[in-house]
Amino acid sequence: MEIDHIVPEAHGGTTVEENLWLACTMCNLYKGDQTTANDPLGGEVLALFNPRAQEWSEHFAWVDHGAQIFGLTAVGRATTAALRLNRSLLVTSRRKWVSAGWHPPKA
């Protein structure tokens, strides 16, 4: 896992706790310096999900027995697409975690 800036320093984000989140290397790479993304359904450009300011369960749900993330809102869909949260390595890993009883996380 890596500590990343939610609003990148290149966009004026500062290194304060409210602007930092923990991301795996691949999610961090896919996020890059993006702060917005397109909703794949409507095409609307939205701010990416902010784990410091927004509630995960309002924007996302686990589907496919916990193997995949479903965007409940435009923000959820845009973030899922931008960070490729259902990439095959993650889905394969989640299936193994589900069978081990480690996933999905209990709210």
* Closest to Zn ion by CB, 29 or 63: 29
Q: Who's near 77: CB < 8 A, 6+ residues apart? A: 39, 40, 41, 71
Smallest separation, CB 2 to Zn ion (Å): 10
Structure tokens at 100: 């081990």
Whole-number Å distance between alpha carbons of 38 and 10:
20
Q: Which amino acid is at 43?
A: G
Kindly identify the residues of this chain, within the stretch 5-34, that bind Zn ion according to CB under 5 A.
Answer: 24, 27
Residue 63 touches Zn ion, criterion: CB under 5 A? no
Smallest separation, CB 103 to Zn ion (Å): 13
Using CB under 5 A as the criterion, which residues of the chain lie in contact with Zn ion when the complex forms?
Answer: 24, 27
